[in-house]
Copies of this chain bind each other. A is one copy, B any other.
């Protein structure tokens, strides 16, 4: 009830505003706007949305090997014989898999941690799919683990933790490069990014 409803907003309306408001990135104002949009839109659109929500929830699962979302377990990447089983790319979220696949540059397998270590938010290594990753390293022919957690505090902490666990196993551990993003402007780059770009400079 973040918005302070009144007696005039019908209960089904304020209830839906509340539900939208519970979603990440949707504040009370955008929640109202969504609701009033649906109020005026065709019934079919609401139906399609409600059905899509339940269909997704009812038909998708997490792959038991890489923990990406999938309809079939194991997922289509894990069962694809053309993928390189010797490389595994470790990411925080299923969306990161989508982003990496879009590059077309990676042909190995994935492992989705479902988060990053964050003492502030109370997320510890045991809350992530880290034990499962270490288990895979024991039984799968993995030769390189590419740590692709986000380039921020939590992602770096998670990568450091994983490196400490994996390097002793004699497996190569790499991290995605830091530097200036394509199309960016050196003048506006923050000092950390620019510092990393300098450190990581390469021979032309």
**A8 pairs with B75, CB closer than 8 A:** yes
Which residues of the partner chain B approach A138 to less than 8 Å between Cβ atoms? none
The contact string, 1 if C-beta is below 8 Å from chain B, for chain A 40-74, is 10010111111111111101100000001111000
Interface check A164, CB cutoff 8 A: no
Identify the interface centre among A8, A71, A77, A93: most chain B CB within 10 Å of its CB. A8
Interface check A97, CB cutoff 8 A: yes
Bound complex: CA A10 to CA B55 (Å): 11
Interface check A200, CB cutoff 8 A: no
Interface size of A in residues (CB-CB distance below 8 Å): 60
A-B contact pairs, 21 of them (CB 8 A): A6-B101, A9-B98, A10-B59, A10-B60, A10-B69, A12-B56, A12-B60, A13-B56, A15-B56, A16-B53, A16-B56, A19-B45, A19-B49, A22-B45, A32-B98, A38-B56, A39-B57, A43-B57, A47-B54, A50-B53, A53-B53
- Contacts A15-B52, A23-B34, A36-B69 aside, 11 further interface pairs with beta carbons under 8 A come to A10-B60, A12-B59, A13-B60, A15-B56, A39-B60, A40-B114, A46-B53, A46-B56, A47-B54, A47-B57, A50-B50
